[in-house]
Amino acid sequence: MHLKGYNEHCPIELAKNLIVHESPFVKYLHDSDALKIRHIKSRALMECYAKAKHLTIARIKYGRVLPGKMSFIELFIAHQLKRKYELAKGST
């Protein structure tokens, strides 16, 4: 998953937490201790690995990694907008 868009750059720790919490597919892999995440800094890329057994079960249960046709950068931007909205809502 690319961690860098046109003007957006996502830190790796935030990316790991975000993908685990937003994707039931990845959350299942994380909860079963099958998920391994590798960060390639030079290409701003996050690669996720898991054992074939757990991947097959997750694919049967959830189908896709991310909901709809959403990319990771779109998910990150939506998360940032939601956070800014909640901060603005809380300060009024």
How many domains, the chain? 1
Per-position pLDDT tens, the chain of length 92? 555 655 556 778 888 888 888 888 889 999 999 999 888 888 777 888 898 999 899 989 988 777 666 666 677 777 777 887 788 877 65
Flag whether 48 is in a domain: yes
Secondary structure percentages of the chain, helix, strand, coil, to 5: 55, 15, 30
pLDDT number for residue 92: 55
Longest dimension (CA), the chain: 49
Enter the pTM of the model.
Answer: 0.68
Flag whether 2 is in a domain: no
Flag whether 6 is in a domain: no
Range of the domain at 39: 12-90
pLDDT number for residue 54: 93
Flag whether 5 is in a domain: no
pLDDT number for residue 29: 92
pLDDT number for residue 4: 62
Flag whether 57 is in a domain: yes
Flag whether 7 is in a domain: no
Flag whether 1 is in a domain: no
